[in-house]
Amino acid sequence: MANLLASSSNSSGNKSSYEVFINHRGPDTKLSIAGHLYNRLHDLGLQVFLDQEEMEKGDFIPSEIAAAIQAASIQIAIFSPGYADSDWCLNELLLMMESDRSTIIPIFYGVEPTDLRWTLGKDTVYAKALTKLKEKKTADPQTDTEKKPRYDTDIIENWRKALSKVSYNYGFMYNGVEWKLVTEVVELVLKKVKKLPLDVARYPTGLEKKVKDFEELLQQQGRGIRVIGIVGLGGVGKTTLAKEIFNRLRSKYEKSCFLLDIRGNSLPTSQSHLLKDLTQLNVQISTYVEGKGILRKYLSYK
């Protein structure tokens, strides 16, 4: 029997623990590269923020996005032809640049790095977009007739500098083969977050159907603490299924632990492993009773 064990937070993910933030222009990339990256990284157990995918009713959008940017250690910026038309995208980029502990991975999706660098006095797509933003007017609250620039010169200049600076980051160019691009980006993200998914069979025949059956079972049972056994003859794929389920569900929890071969290890050894994965404490546990007390103390179990 394979064992799947996780410490729950809330079922939609802990908003303060995002590992990846995807900065993108929705109309250009939501249904293509941005959506595909989100699905792949999410299925591998990472906490990924992609605005509408992560928003809940009642969220105040600016604060939610700012919190996700601050939390994420990896930020992916997808620069598409319409990216610089959006002040939202540009302001997100500014917040990303201010987050010193984060790594920004640029993806040039239908544009060149030079489009980001040459935004003043040039006939490039981003230069034109910033010129339009600079020329936008907004009604002056003091009068019904006069209008003033919607964005001051400082914010326009900050956008220019941010675009130019990020264009020199190590990134990826879209060459028309999207699946390959997604794979390469995912591989780099996994190396940087140092949270590799559990290794699953290379050719898992029939695994997707079994995972869907499991997900349907979870939906039927509703929320709460559950213990689910995966039973079958040796070699039929119980552990493979448990690993795949763990990889996909891990993003829904603040912390998680996969205990493998608990039958071959002593219970105190498994307790020590569980404690280290969930709390980062490296404590040697001698007896089951001692382990139970330590786990209750550090994990707040009653």
Q: What is the pLDDT of residues 275-302, one digit of tens each?
A: 887 777 777 888 888 888 888 887 764 4
pLDDT for the residue numbered 232:
81
pLDDT for the residue numbered 142:
67
Q: Domain ranges for the chain, please list them.
A: 20-193, 207-299
For residue 7, report the phi and psi dihedrals to the nearest 5 degrees: -100, 120
Q: Say which residues have a Cβ less than 8 Å from residue 43's Cβ, sequence separation at least 6.
A: 247, 248
Confidence bin at 244 (pLDDT 50/70/90):
confident
C-beta separation of 40 from 192 below 8 A: no
Token pair recorded at residue 128: 């034109």
pLDDT 10s digits, 67-111 = 889 889 899 999 999 999 999 999 999 999 988 767 899 999 999
Q: What single letter denotes the amino acid at residue 106? A: P
Q: What global pTM score does this model have? A: 0.65
pLDDT for the residue numbered 146:
62
C-beta separation of 72 from 102 below 8 A: yes
pLDDT 10s digits, 12-66 = 344 457 889 999 999 999 999 999 999 989 877 788 999 876 555 555 557 888 8
Range scoring the smallest mean pLDDT among 124-128, 187-191, 204-208: 204-208
Please provide the average confidence, as pLDDT, over all residues in the chain.
81
Provide mean pLDDT across the span 238-250.
80
pLDDT for the residue numbered 93:
95
Domain 20-193: give its CATH superfamily. Toll/interleukin-1 receptor homology (TIR) domain (3.40.50.10140)
Token pair recorded at residue 251: 């993003």
pLDDT for the residue numbered 85:
94
pLDDT for the residue numbered 125:
93
